[in-house]
Structure 1
Protein backbone atom coordinates (compact mmCIF):
# COMPACT_ATOMS: atom_id res chain seq x y z
CA UNK A 1 0.00 0.00 0.00
CA UNK A 2 1.20 3.53 -0.65
CA UNK A 3 2.46 5.44 2.40
CA UNK A 4 0.20 7.99 4.15
CA UNK A 5 2.15 10.98 2.84
CA UNK A 6 0.77 10.26 -0.63
CA UNK A 7 -2.58 11.64 0.56
CA UNK A 8 -2.87 15.25 -0.58
CA UNK A 9 -3.54 16.55 2.95
CA UNK A 10 -0.64 14.78 4.71
CA UNK A 11 2.85 16.21 5.18
CA UNK A 12 5.92 14.55 6.70
CA UNK A 13 7.41 16.28 9.74
CA UNK A 14 11.14 16.08 10.51
CA UNK A 15 13.32 17.03 13.47
CA UNK A 16 16.04 19.66 13.06
CA UNK A 17 18.46 16.75 12.53
CA UNK A 18 16.43 15.53 9.56
CA UNK A 19 14.91 12.50 11.30
CA UNK A 20 11.29 11.67 10.51
CA UNK A 21 9.29 12.72 13.55
CA UNK A 22 5.66 12.35 12.49
CA UNK A 23 2.95 13.67 10.23
CA UNK A 24 1.02 16.90 9.90
CA UNK A 25 -2.53 16.45 8.65
CA UNK A 26 -4.17 19.43 6.99
CA UNK A 27 -7.91 19.63 7.54
CA UNK A 28 -10.07 19.68 4.45
CA UNK A 29 -13.29 21.54 3.89
CA UNK A 30 -15.40 18.54 2.92
CA UNK A 31 -17.82 20.63 0.89
CA UNK A 32 -15.26 22.42 -1.28
CA UNK A 33 -12.47 19.77 -1.08
CA UNK A 34 -10.01 22.58 -0.32
CA UNK A 35 -7.60 22.69 2.59
CA UNK A 36 -8.76 24.67 5.60
CA UNK A 37 -5.78 27.00 6.01
CA UNK A 38 -7.32 28.71 9.04
CA UNK A 39 -7.01 25.61 11.21
CA UNK A 40 -3.76 24.38 12.71
CA UNK A 41 -2.71 21.04 11.17
CA UNK A 42 -3.26 17.96 13.29
CA UNK A 43 0.16 16.76 14.50
CA UNK A 44 0.65 12.99 14.72
CA UNK A 45 3.51 11.01 16.15
CA UNK A 46 4.70 8.00 14.18
CA UNK A 47 3.01 5.76 16.75
CA UNK A 48 -0.35 7.54 16.45
CA UNK A 49 -0.31 7.52 12.66
CA UNK A 50 -1.14 3.88 12.03
CA UNK A 51 -4.34 4.20 14.07
CA UNK A 52 -5.21 7.53 12.45
CA UNK A 53 -4.64 6.59 8.82
CA UNK A 54 -5.96 3.05 9.02
CA UNK A 55 -9.11 3.09 11.12
CA UNK A 56 -10.55 0.28 8.98
CA UNK A 57 -9.21 -1.42 5.84
CA UNK A 58 -11.01 -3.78 3.42
CA UNK A 59 -9.50 -5.61 0.44
CA UNK A 60 -11.44 -6.72 -2.63
CA UNK A 61 -9.43 -9.95 -2.94
CA UNK A 62 -6.09 -11.56 -2.16
CA UNK A 63 -3.42 -8.96 -3.10
CA UNK A 64 -1.37 -11.64 -4.87
CA UNK A 65 -4.07 -11.75 -7.58
CA UNK A 66 -2.82 -8.36 -8.77
CA UNK A 67 -6.19 -6.70 -9.32
CA UNK A 68 -6.82 -6.01 -5.65
CA UNK A 69 -8.42 -2.77 -4.55
CA UNK A 70 -8.04 -1.47 -0.99
CA UNK A 71 -10.61 0.81 0.64
CA UNK A 72 -9.96 2.44 4.00
CA UNK A 73 -11.62 4.65 6.56
CA UNK A 74 -9.20 7.24 7.91
CA UNK A 75 -9.41 10.08 10.35
CA UNK A 76 -10.21 12.92 10.64
CA UNK A 77 -13.93 12.65 10.07
CA UNK A 78 -13.89 8.94 9.10
CA UNK A 79 -13.35 9.67 5.41
CA UNK A 80 -12.78 7.13 2.63
CA UNK A 81 -9.85 6.68 0.28
CA UNK A 82 -8.74 3.86 -1.98
CA UNK A 83 -5.75 2.45 -3.83
CA UNK A 84 -5.02 -0.50 -6.08
CA UNK A 85 -2.10 -2.90 -6.04
CA UNK A 86 0.67 -1.08 -7.89
CA UNK A 87 -0.68 2.44 -7.31
CA UNK A 88 1.75 4.97 -5.86
CA UNK A 89 -0.77 7.07 -3.95
CA UNK A 90 -4.09 7.02 -2.13
CA UNK A 91 -7.11 8.61 -3.78
CA UNK A 92 -9.55 10.45 -1.54
CA UNK A 93 -13.22 9.71 -2.20
CA UNK A 94 -14.86 13.07 -1.93
CA UNK A 95 -17.87 14.74 -3.26
CA UNK A 96 -20.18 17.51 -2.43
CA UNK A 97 -22.09 17.05 0.77
CA UNK A 98 -21.96 14.33 3.37
CA UNK A 99 -18.99 12.15 2.43
CA UNK A 100 -17.68 11.49 5.93
CA UNK A 101 -18.43 9.75 9.22
CA UNK A 102 -18.30 6.22 7.85
CA UNK A 103 -18.61 3.58 10.56
CA UNK A 104 -17.86 0.48 8.53
CA UNK A 105 -17.04 -0.69 5.02
CA UNK A 106 -17.37 -4.05 3.30
CA UNK A 107 -16.79 -5.67 -0.05
CA UNK A 108 -19.41 -7.86 -1.75
CA UNK A 109 -17.88 -10.64 -3.87
CA UNK A 110 -21.17 -11.21 -5.69
CA UNK A 111 -21.47 -7.76 -7.27
CA UNK A 112 -17.84 -6.59 -6.96
CA UNK A 113 -18.79 -3.42 -5.08
CA UNK A 114 -17.69 -1.80 -1.84
CA UNK A 115 -20.34 -0.55 0.55
CA UNK A 116 -19.98 2.08 3.26
CA UNK A 117 -22.12 2.31 6.40
CA UNK A 118 -22.65 5.68 8.02
Structure 2
Protein backbone atom coordinates (compact mmCIF):
# COMPACT_ATOMS: atom_id res chain seq x y z
CA UNK A 1 0.00 0.00 0.00
CA UNK A 2 2.78 2.50 0.82
CA UNK A 3 4.12 2.09 -2.73
CA UNK A 4 0.85 3.15 -4.36
CA UNK A 5 0.91 6.52 -6.19
CA UNK A 6 -0.36 9.50 -4.21
CA UNK A 7 -3.27 9.90 -6.64
CA UNK A 8 -4.55 6.35 -5.99
CA UNK A 9 -4.09 6.70 -2.23
CA UNK A 10 -6.08 9.94 -2.47
CA UNK A 11 -8.95 8.14 -4.21
CA UNK A 12 -8.99 5.53 -1.43
CA UNK A 13 -8.72 8.08 1.37
CA UNK A 14 -11.60 10.10 -0.13
CA UNK A 15 -13.93 7.21 0.78
CA UNK A 16 -12.97 7.16 4.48
CA UNK A 17 -14.79 8.71 7.42
CA UNK A 18 -12.88 11.61 8.99
CA UNK A 19 -11.59 9.62 12.03
CA UNK A 20 -10.25 6.87 9.74
CA UNK A 21 -8.79 9.48 7.39
CA UNK A 22 -6.86 11.14 10.22
CA UNK A 23 -5.60 7.78 11.47
CA UNK A 24 -4.47 6.84 7.96
CA UNK A 25 -2.43 10.03 7.72
CA UNK A 26 -0.32 8.84 10.67
CA UNK A 27 0.69 5.49 9.19
CA UNK A 28 3.74 6.64 7.21
CA UNK A 29 5.12 9.61 5.33
CA UNK A 30 3.67 8.61 1.96
CA UNK A 31 0.19 8.21 3.45
CA UNK A 32 0.54 11.57 5.18
CA UNK A 33 1.51 13.16 1.86
CA UNK A 34 -1.59 11.67 0.22
CA UNK A 35 -3.74 12.92 3.12
CA UNK A 36 -2.29 16.44 2.88
CA UNK A 37 -2.74 16.51 -0.88
CA UNK A 38 -6.37 15.39 -0.59
CA UNK A 39 -7.18 18.06 2.00
CA UNK A 40 -5.43 20.79 0.01
CA UNK A 41 -7.25 19.88 -3.21
CA UNK A 42 -10.68 20.39 -1.66
CA UNK A 43 -11.84 17.08 -3.16
CA UNK A 44 -12.64 15.43 0.16
CA UNK A 45 -16.41 15.85 0.32
CA UNK A 46 -17.55 12.51 1.70
CA UNK A 47 -20.84 12.82 3.55
CA UNK A 48 -20.20 11.82 7.14
CA UNK A 49 -22.27 9.42 9.22
CA UNK A 50 -24.24 11.55 11.72
CA UNK A 51 -23.16 11.69 15.37
CA UNK A 52 -25.38 12.06 18.42
CA UNK A 53 -24.41 15.14 20.43
CA UNK A 54 -25.54 15.34 24.07
CA UNK A 55 -24.57 16.38 27.59
CA UNK A 56 -24.63 14.36 30.78
CA UNK A 57 -24.62 15.37 34.44
CA UNK A 58 -22.12 12.61 35.21
CA UNK A 59 -19.67 13.92 32.58
CA UNK A 60 -19.47 17.46 33.98
CA UNK A 61 -20.84 20.92 33.17
CA UNK A 62 -18.35 21.73 30.41
CA UNK A 63 -18.16 18.28 28.83
CA UNK A 64 -20.09 17.41 25.70
CA UNK A 65 -20.48 13.83 24.53
CA UNK A 66 -20.49 12.85 20.89
CA UNK A 67 -21.54 9.31 20.03
CA UNK A 68 -20.16 8.11 16.69
CA UNK A 69 -22.48 5.74 14.89
CA UNK A 70 -19.69 4.82 12.48
CA UNK A 71 -17.31 3.78 15.28
CA UNK A 72 -19.85 2.81 17.94
CA UNK A 73 -18.02 4.85 20.57
CA UNK A 74 -18.39 8.04 22.61
CA UNK A 75 -16.00 10.99 22.44
CA UNK A 76 -15.91 13.44 25.38
CA UNK A 77 -15.19 17.04 24.41
CA UNK A 78 -14.23 19.84 26.80
CA UNK A 79 -15.84 23.11 25.73
CA UNK A 80 -15.38 26.70 26.98
CA UNK A 81 -17.67 28.61 29.33
CA UNK A 82 -20.57 29.13 29.74
CA UNK A 83 -21.37 25.50 30.66
CA UNK A 84 -22.53 23.60 27.62
CA UNK A 85 -25.04 21.66 29.74
CA UNK A 86 -26.95 24.89 30.52
CA UNK A 87 -27.29 26.07 26.93
CA UNK A 88 -30.14 25.72 24.44
CA UNK A 89 -29.24 24.58 20.92
CA UNK A 90 -30.66 26.83 18.19
CA UNK A 91 -29.06 25.26 15.13
CA UNK A 92 -26.00 23.61 13.60
CA UNK A 93 -24.26 23.87 10.24
CA UNK A 94 -20.77 23.72 8.72
CA UNK A 95 -19.30 22.22 11.90
CA UNK A 96 -20.69 24.93 14.20
CA UNK A 97 -23.32 24.71 16.92
CA UNK A 98 -25.41 27.81 17.63
CA UNK A 99 -26.23 27.97 21.35
CA UNK A 100 -28.11 30.30 23.70
CA UNK A 101 -26.84 30.62 27.27
CA UNK A 102 -28.83 31.27 30.44
CA UNK A 103 -28.85 35.01 29.69
CA UNK A 104 -30.26 34.23 26.23
CA UNK A 105 -27.01 35.42 24.62
CA UNK A 106 -25.88 33.54 21.52
CA UNK A 107 -22.54 31.81 20.88
CA UNK A 108 -21.29 29.62 18.06
CA UNK A 109 -18.99 26.82 19.11
CA UNK A 110 -17.05 24.21 17.16
CA UNK A 111 -17.25 21.04 19.30
CA UNK A 112 -14.21 19.47 17.60
CA UNK A 113 -11.74 22.36 17.84
CA UNK A 114 -13.27 24.00 20.93
CA UNK A 115 -13.31 27.38 19.16
CA UNK A 116 -16.09 29.66 20.38
CA UNK A 117 -17.30 33.07 19.17
CA UNK A 118 -19.81 35.31 20.93
CA UNK A 119 -22.48 36.71 18.63
CA UNK A 120 -23.98 40.22 18.97
CA UNK A 121 -26.06 40.76 22.08
CA UNK A 122 -29.72 39.80 22.09
CA UNK A 123 -30.43 43.44 23.04
CA UNK A 124 -29.43 44.48 19.49
CA UNK A 125 -32.23 42.45 17.89
CA UNK A 126 -34.71 45.01 16.59
CA UNK A 127 -37.71 43.93 18.68
CA UNK A 128 -35.85 43.32 21.98
CA UNK A 129 -35.45 45.99 24.67
CA UNK A 130 -33.69 45.37 28.02
CA UNK A 131 -35.34 46.48 31.25
CA UNK A 132 -32.91 47.22 34.09
CA UNK A 133 -33.29 46.98 37.86
CA UNK A 134 -32.10 49.62 40.34
CA UNK A 135 -28.58 48.16 40.34
CA UNK A 136 -28.26 48.46 36.56
CA UNK A 137 -28.58 44.72 35.85
CA UNK A 138 -30.99 43.40 33.25
CA UNK A 139 -34.12 42.29 35.07
CA UNK A 140 -36.11 41.22 32.02
CA UNK A 141 -36.57 41.83 28.31
CA UNK A 142 -39.48 43.49 26.53
CA UNK A 143 -40.28 42.10 23.09
CA UNK A 144 -42.27 44.27 20.69
CA UNK A 145 -44.60 42.46 18.31
CA UNK A 146 -44.22 44.20 14.97
CA UNK A 147 -42.92 43.22 11.56
CA UNK A 148 -41.74 46.55 10.16
CA UNK A 149 -45.14 47.60 8.90
CA UNK A 150 -47.46 47.36 11.87
CA UNK A 151 -47.63 46.34 15.51
CA UNK A 152 -50.08 43.46 15.58
CA UNK A 153 -50.15 42.98 19.37
CA UNK A 154 -48.82 44.56 22.52
CA UNK A 155 -45.29 43.86 23.79
CA UNK A 156 -44.56 41.06 26.25
CA UNK A 157 -41.77 40.53 28.79
CA UNK A 158 -39.53 37.57 29.54
CA UNK A 159 -36.92 36.85 32.19
CA UNK A 160 -33.34 36.60 30.82
CA UNK A 161 -33.29 32.81 31.10
CA UNK A 162 -36.74 32.45 29.48
CA UNK A 163 -36.34 34.74 26.49
CA UNK A 164 -34.42 32.14 24.48
CA UNK A 165 -37.37 29.75 24.63
CA UNK A 166 -39.81 32.20 23.04
CA UNK A 167 -37.53 34.32 20.80
CA UNK A 168 -35.24 31.97 18.87
CA UNK A 169 -36.60 29.62 16.20
CA UNK A 170 -33.60 28.50 14.14
CA UNK A 171 -30.07 29.65 13.29
CA UNK A 172 -27.62 28.95 10.45
CA UNK A 173 -23.87 29.49 10.02
CA UNK A 174 -22.79 30.04 6.41
CA UNK A 175 -19.29 30.40 5.01
CA UNK A 176 -18.72 33.82 3.43
CA UNK A 177 -15.98 33.11 0.90
CA UNK A 178 -15.94 36.68 -0.41
CA UNK A 179 -14.68 37.90 2.96
CA UNK A 180 -13.06 34.63 4.15
CA UNK A 181 -15.35 34.72 7.15
CA UNK A 182 -18.84 33.61 8.16
CA UNK A 183 -22.38 34.93 8.36
CA UNK A 184 -24.96 33.84 10.94
CA UNK A 185 -28.64 34.04 10.02
CA UNK A 186 -31.30 33.91 12.72
CA UNK A 187 -35.01 33.13 12.34
CA UNK A 188 -36.70 34.63 15.38
CA UNK A 189 -40.03 35.72 16.78
CA UNK A 190 -42.29 37.56 16.45
CA UNK A 191 -43.74 35.72 13.44
CA UNK A 192 -40.46 34.16 12.30
CA UNK A 193 -38.56 37.19 11.04
CA UNK A 194 -34.92 37.33 9.87
CA UNK A 195 -31.81 38.98 11.27
CA UNK A 196 -28.16 38.34 10.39
CA UNK A 197 -24.66 39.15 11.63
CA UNK A 198 -21.19 38.83 10.16
CA UNK A 199 -17.95 38.08 11.97
CA UNK A 200 -17.01 41.10 14.06
CA UNK A 201 -20.45 42.75 13.97
CA UNK A 202 -21.61 44.36 17.21
CA UNK A 203 -25.31 44.15 16.42
CA UNK A 204 -27.84 42.14 14.44
CA UNK A 205 -29.07 43.46 11.09
CA UNK A 206 -32.83 43.10 10.73
CA UNK A 207 -34.38 42.14 7.38
CA UNK A 208 -37.90 43.61 7.25
CA UNK A 209 -40.68 43.69 6.31
CA UNK A 210 -41.56 40.06 5.52
CA UNK A 211 -41.99 37.15 7.95
CA UNK A 212 -43.02 33.51 8.43
CA UNK A 213 -39.66 32.12 7.30
CA UNK A 214 -38.97 28.41 7.54
CA UNK A 215 -35.50 27.94 6.03
CA UNK A 216 -32.72 29.77 4.21
CA UNK A 217 -29.45 29.38 2.30
CA UNK A 218 -26.65 31.80 1.48
CA UNK A 219 -24.88 31.77 -1.91
CA UNK A 220 -22.64 34.33 -3.64
CA UNK A 221 -23.67 37.19 -1.39
CA UNK A 222 -27.40 36.48 -1.71
CA UNK A 223 -29.52 35.15 1.15
CA UNK A 224 -32.48 33.09 -0.08
CA UNK A 225 -35.24 32.58 2.49
CA UNK A 226 -38.25 30.26 2.15
CA UNK A 227 -41.57 31.30 3.70
CA UNK A 228 -44.20 29.01 5.19
CA UNK A 229 -46.37 29.72 2.14
CA UNK A 230 -43.73 28.41 -0.26
CA UNK A 231 -42.44 31.81 -1.40
CA UNK A 232 -38.75 32.64 -1.74
CA UNK A 233 -37.31 36.04 -0.82
CA UNK A 234 -33.79 37.04 -1.87
CA UNK A 235 -31.65 39.56 0.04
CA UNK A 236 -28.41 41.06 -1.25
CA UNK A 237 -26.53 41.21 2.04
CA UNK A 238 -23.20 42.06 0.41
CA UNK A 239 -24.29 45.40 -1.01
CA UNK A 240 -23.93 48.80 0.68
CA UNK A 241 -27.58 48.48 1.67
CA UNK A 242 -29.53 45.25 2.17
CA UNK A 243 -32.03 44.72 -0.65
TM tier, shorter chain? 0.7 to 0.9
Whether 2:197 is the aligned partner of 1:83: answer yes
Corresponding residue for residue 92 of structure 1: 206
Q: Kindly tell me the number of residue pairs found equivalent between the two proteins.
A: 107
| CA displacement 1:81-112 (0-9 Å, x = unmatched) | 111010000011014xxx1011222345xx56
**Which piece of structure 1 moves more, 80-89 or 66-75?**
66-75
Corresponding residue for residue 70 of structure 1: 184
**Greater helix share, 1 or 2?**
2
Kept in 2: contact 1:70–1:84 (CA 8 A): yes
Normalized against structure 2, the TM-score is what? 0.39
Corresponding residue for residue 102 of structure 1: 213
Normalized against structure 1, the TM-score is what? 0.73
Q: Distance between the aligned counterparts of 2:135 and 2:145, measured in 1?
A: 27
**SS of structure 2 residue aligned to 1:40:** strand
**Cα 1:52–1:61, aligned 2, differ >3 Å: closer, same or farther?**
farther
| CA displacement 1:52-80 (0-9 Å, x = unmatched) | 33211001139xx9621111100011000
Q: CA shift at 1:23, angstroms?
A: 0.6
Q: Distance between the aligned counterparts of 1:6 and 1:15, measured in 2?
A: 19
Q: Distance between the aligned counterparts of 1:16 and 1:40, measured in 2?
A: 25
The equivalences for 1:40-55 within 5 A come to 40-55=154-169
Whether 2:142 is the aligned partner of 1:24: answer yes
Structure 2 runs not aligned, ≥5 long: 1-118, 228-243
Q: CA shift at 1:29, angstroms?
A: 4.6
Q: CA shift at 1:9, angstroms?
A: 2.6
Cα-Cα RMSD: 2.5
Kept in 1: contact 2:131–2:141 (CA 8 A): yes
